[in-house]
Structure 1
């Protein structure tokens, strides 16, 4: 007899008590989010929980800075917050140092030598940043020397945890604004570095009872908590290989921006966000963790937003993954930390960066990084690209949330790489203001009108149609719309037929079909033929 996790057991990663996403791994970004965002949320809740309860009764506030209460929330959060202050004190010291650099030291520099400025750096940053001027020779800026920050007291693996529990329905409350604690006896929160091989052992499953006992002991669980954790496992049943473990070529929409591809036996997974199963729901034929093959040769991540680089999914499939392919980053700025280093610290050992139009050879084809504009509110984010997958001459582009703000770009892409046969494109054409995601990293708040005009959005109809025309694509799939019911933990997008994103995407589908092509707005799951 062997045992594996039940299909409806979720494992939510956490850092410093908050649902983990990639910007909570680097100490400098974690520090700023703790100081300028999470601390404000929890102090607001403790001061006036009724305001949070009232706000969350309205759909428009679901993604706002409000705590989603669970049983016993108030007292548990209060006690946790009081205890966490000492442990998080070094990070707040680091955040203060960054503020001093950005708000006091750098604004005083107007073009003179920076040599003496290094002596003014607060201790947390001394030796850990480089100062410089931008090309106008007047505007000062800086970058982090990230390895020294990770080797400092400000990076503490003891802040990393994983909470296990069972879910019984798709809908999950927005996770990014509520502390990750043990609210009920059915939840088990373990202190565990996120790169721990113990996680791979748990997720791989197939454990003999005595092996599971060792895992439980290694996790430091005893008594009722050990019994609860053991209850998350069930006896393995004999299974027969499904089509995704076979050898046929397939392209399958998994949900949101996630697409699974098998070509000549090589497997690809783009922007992994995968559904759980094993609980009562209508049978909709979705693609779940059970449908993944034992080996995923390439994971391709288009950009570093939590709905495209979802740690909850990535950690669960890590033991299956061969190589992770990302856009070239290494800006080491506060808004664009080194993604390769983040993935390495999350336990991925083979991470490859590709710069614009660089190509990686694969069996039967290539992966090429395609320039990606927009979606990031006009801040300097280098870690983003679309992926061109060439499958023996059939070209498929995963454009993610690329916004066609420069209509000349995609004709140049076509001239450089050739016609694209199939394109996947995101059309969330409204999007959140830039401060919704990046605000805690800014040295000062944006003026409301400016913030409202700088959006985290994809292409509208006119922009998307121009992309399709420039690429010459005859198969077009609208994806990354945030509609799948299992995305509630990281997204709060609700559309009706009058929403601009729905209108724009419907127009694009009609536009392509009128010209004799294939087009569809994807939802839940779809298998499709990709051909030249």
Structure 2
């Protein structure tokens, strides 16, 4: 007898007590989010819990800085916050040092030698940053020497945890603003580095009872908590049919996640996958059960929670061959090195592609295409669209690319040629830039400016120009955040009058009127790979 996790067991990663997403791995970004975001949320909740309860009764406040309270959770959050302050103190010192650099040291520089500035760096940054001038020789800037920060006391794998529990429906509660604690006896929180091979053993399954006992002990579990953890396992199901000879296909998995199989080679774009094994589920979904044992290439378009979801990535890590990402260049506060983040998550075969660079694959190639917009005009380099060549059939995953430079796709087409199929995101409103990046800014943006700089995809006019320029025969609108399991990281409510629905409906109709194939995707769709 061998044992594997039940299908409806979820494993939520956490860093410093908060649901883990990629910016909580680098010490410098974790420090800023703790100081400028998470601390404010928990202190507000402890001061006025009723305000949080009232706000969360209104749909417009979902996804805001509010704690989702459970019975008895107030005291648990209060106790956790009091006990964790000493543990988080070094990170708050690091955040203070970054503020001192940005708000005091750099503003005093106007073109003279930076040697005195290096001597004045606060201790947490000394020897861990490089200072320089931009090309005007007046505006100072800096970058982190990230390997040295990861090697410092400010990177603490002891702050990394995974919470195991069960779910009984697709819908997920927003996870990013509520501390990840053991609120009920049915939840088991283990402290374990997120790159630990123990997690691969757990997610791969096929454990004999002695293996499970060993892992339980290595997680530091005993008594009732150990029994609860063991209850998450069941006898390993019979293996499904071998998918090695399965037909070529493109499977829309939900949101921006697409699974592709071509001549036995498998690709997974922006993995966000739903669970199964419960009665209240959407029909016909593509779940973890539908994945093959081997995923040759995972392709990540950009470093946002709904495209680079740690919860899914850790669960499939033991299946993944190579991860392909856009080239990271900045090592800045807003754009930390994604390859290094993935390394700290246990992915060691990671390939970066710069604009228009290609990676040969069996029967084709993966090419990185420039990706503008969707990042609120913040200097983010780590983003691209993926052009996947499947024996001559060319499929573009454009993610949330916004056609703010109308000449861009004409230049791309002139360089790489026409594209057969385009997947494009059209969440054409988006959140203000501060919703994601605000805690990293040195000062709060004016409301007017914040409202005008959005994390959004293309509207109808922009999307139509992209597909016309690429001469695509098939166009699929995706990455709309409508699937219920996206609730953990997104809170998007649409009706037929929402601009995103109007824009995407118009694009679908536009493509069809011109004789093409088009659809706004939802839940799951099987798309035939055209020869």
**TM-score > 0.5 by shorter chain:** yes
Q: Which residue in 2 is equivalent to 1:221?
A: 221
1:130–1:142 Cα contact (<8 Å) kept:
yes
In 2, the alpha carbon distance for the partners of 1:71 and 1:12 equals 20
Q: Which residue in 2 is equivalent to 1:75?
A: 75
Q: Deviation of residue 138 (structure 1)?
A: 1.0
Q: Deviation of residue 281 (structure 1)?
A: 2.2
Q: Deviation of residue 240 (structure 1)?
A: 3.1
Closer, same or farther: CA 283–336 of 1 in aligned 2, 3 Å: closer
- The answer to whether residue 3 in structure 2 is matched with residue 8 in structure 1 is no
In 2, the alpha carbon distance for the partners of 1:48 and 1:330 equals 42
Q: Which residue in 2 is equivalent to 1:440?
A: 439
In 2, the alpha carbon distance for the partners of 1:238 and 1:348 equals 28
Q: How does 1:232-381 map to 2 (within 5 A)?
A: 232-241=232-241, 244-282=243-281, 284-381=283-380
Q: Deviation of residue 247 (structure 1)?
A: 3.1
1:3–1:209 Cα contact (<8 Å) kept:
yes
Q: Deviation of residue 270 (structure 1)?
A: 0.1
Closer, same or farther: CA 291–479 of 1 in aligned 2, 3 Å: same
The C-alpha deviation readout for 1:23-69, integer Å capped at 9, x for no partner, is 00000000000000000000000000000000000000010000000
Q: Which residue in 1 is equivalent to 2:52?
A: 52
Q: Which residue in 2 is equivalent to 1:150?
A: 150
- Per mean C-alpha deviation after superposition, the further-off stretch among 259-268 and 245-254 is 245-254
The C-alpha deviation readout for 1:259-291, integer Å capped at 9, x for no partner, is 000001100000000000000125511100000
In 1, the alpha carbon distance for the partners of 2:116 and 2:215 equals 54
The C-alpha deviation readout for 1:315-360, integer Å capped at 9, x for no partner, is 0000000000000003100000000000001000100000000000
Q: Which residue in 2 is equivalent to 1:20?
A: 20
Closer, same or farther: CA 403–293 of 1 in aligned 2, 3 Å: same
Q: SS of the counterpart of 2:436?
A: helix
The C-alpha deviation readout for 1:213-256, integer Å capped at 9, x for no partner, is 111111111000000000000112324316x5533211000000
Q: Which residue in 2 is equivalent to 1:94?
A: 94
In 1, the alpha carbon distance for the partners of 2:240 and 2:104 equals 64
In 2, the alpha carbon distance for the partners of 1:527 and 1:520 equals 12
Q: Which residue in 2 is equivalent to 1:421?
A: 420
Q: Which residue in 1 is equivalent to 2:454?
A: 455
- The answer to whether residue 468 in structure 2 is matched with residue 469 in structure 1 is yes
Which sections of structure 1, spanning at least 5 residues, go unmatched? Answer: none
In 1, the alpha carbon distance for the partners of 2:335 and 2:169 equals 35
Q: Which residue in 2 is equivalent to 1:510?
A: 509
Task: Report the count of equivalent residues.
Answer: 531
Q: Which residue in 2 is equivalent to 1:33?
A: 33
Q: Deviation of residue 197 (structure 1)?
A: 0.3
In 2, the alpha carbon distance for the partners of 1:71 and 1:224 equals 20
Q: SS of the counterpart of 1:524?
A: coil
Normalising to structure 1: TM-score of the pair?
0.99
Q: Deviation of residue 112 (structure 1)?
A: 1.1
Q: Which residue in 1 is equivalent to 2:121?
A: 121
In 2, the alpha carbon distance for the partners of 1:474 and 1:444 equals 46
In 1, the alpha carbon distance for the partners of 2:530 and 2:2 equals 42
In 2, the alpha carbon distance for the partners of 1:63 and 1:217 equals 37
Q: Which residue in 2 is equivalent to 1:521?
A: 520
Which sections of structure 2, spanning at least 5 residues, go unmatched? Answer: none
Q: Which residue in 2 is equivalent to 1:383?
A: 382
Q: SS of the counterpart of 2:352?
A: strand
Q: SS of the counterpart of 2:30?
A: helix
In 2, the alpha carbon distance for the partners of 1:240 and 1:403 equals 41
1:424–1:479 Cα contact (<8 Å) kept:
yes
Q: Deviation of residue 531 (structure 1)?
A: 1.7
In 2, the alpha carbon distance for the partners of 1:54 and 1:14 equals 26
Q: SS of the counterpart of 1:361?
A: strand
In 2, the alpha carbon distance for the partners of 1:55 and 1:431 equals 20
1:330–1:339 Cα contact (<8 Å) kept:
no
Q: Which residue in 2 is equivalent to 1:160?
A: 160
Q: Which residue in 2 is equivalent to 1:175?
A: 175
Q: SS of the counterpart of 1:182?
A: coil
In 1, the alpha carbon distance for the partners of 2:101 and 2:85 equals 23
In 1, the alpha carbon distance for the partners of 2:326 and 2:212 equals 38
In 1, the alpha carbon distance for the partners of 2:404 and 2:187 equals 46
